[in-house]
Structure 1
Amino acid sequence: MESRIEKAYRQREIENAKVVAASNTNTVDYPSYSDDLAQIADNTGSMADSMDISKEDLKYMRDVAEREAINRYTTAQIAVDFKNTATINSNMDIDGVMNKFTEVLREAVNTSAEEVHYVV
C-alpha cells in the first residue's frame, strides 16, 4: 500500500515540475552563441596553422636531442691528479693506496655522468 502512495506522490511531483517548466519564460539567445562559436573556430584555426610543424622539423629536433643525450654520456672527462707523499714499505701499503685510489675514481665516475658506471 505504501508503494501506491509513494508512486502517487512522485507522480504529483512530476506533474508540478512540468507545470513549472511550461510556465518558465526565460529564453536563451542561441543565435548569439553560434556567432561566438564561429569566432572561436576562426581564432583557433589561425592558431593551428601557426603551430603546424613539418615532419622534417620534428626529425631534426629529435636528432639534436639524441645527439645531446649521447654527448652527456660520452664526453665526460676525468682528470686523475694522484699525489702521494707517503712512504710505501710493503705490499699492504700499496693495496691500501690502490683501494683508496679506486674508491675516489669510482666516486668521480659516478658523479660525472647521469648513469651508473662500474669501475673494476
Structure 2
Amino acid sequence: MPASVPTIDASTRTVEKFYIALSIGDGSAAAALVTPAKRGIGPFSEAGMSKFYRSLRDPLALRSVRALGNGKVEARYRYRARTGTCEGTAIVQTEAIGDKTLIRSIRANC
C-alpha cells in the first residue's frame, strides 16, 4: 500500500513517542517508529541510537512538538553530551503506511 499524508495528531504522537524513546535510550522503541526501509540503517540503527542516547551526560529532554502540516513536525529538545550541549530543533517528515504513522526523515541542527 502506498504511503499517504498522516493526520496532524498521528504525526505529532509518533514524533513525541520517538523522542521519548530516545530520552530513555531505547533505540529499539525509537526504531520501531521509523519507516521499515530506513530501520537499522545509519542514524536509525537501534544499537547506535541506544548507545548514543544512553551515553549522554544529561538525557534528551523533549521541549515541544508542533505540527507543521503535510506530515511535517517540528521537535525541540535539549541534551548534553560529553562534547557539549545541544539545543536542538528537528523537522521530522512522517508518512502513513497502512494504519501506522512512521518517521521517513529527520533534519536536525545537532
Structure (1 or 2) with the larger CA radius of gyration = 1
TM-score, shorter chain, exceeding 0.5: no
Higher helix share: 1
User: What TM-score results when the alignment is normalised by the length of structure 2?
Assistant: 0.20
Q: Which one has the bigger strand percentage?
A: 2
Comparing both chains, which one has the higher relative contact order based on Cα–Cα distances under 8 Å and sequence gaps of 6 or more?
2
The alignment's TM-score, normalised by the length of structure 1, stands at: 0.19
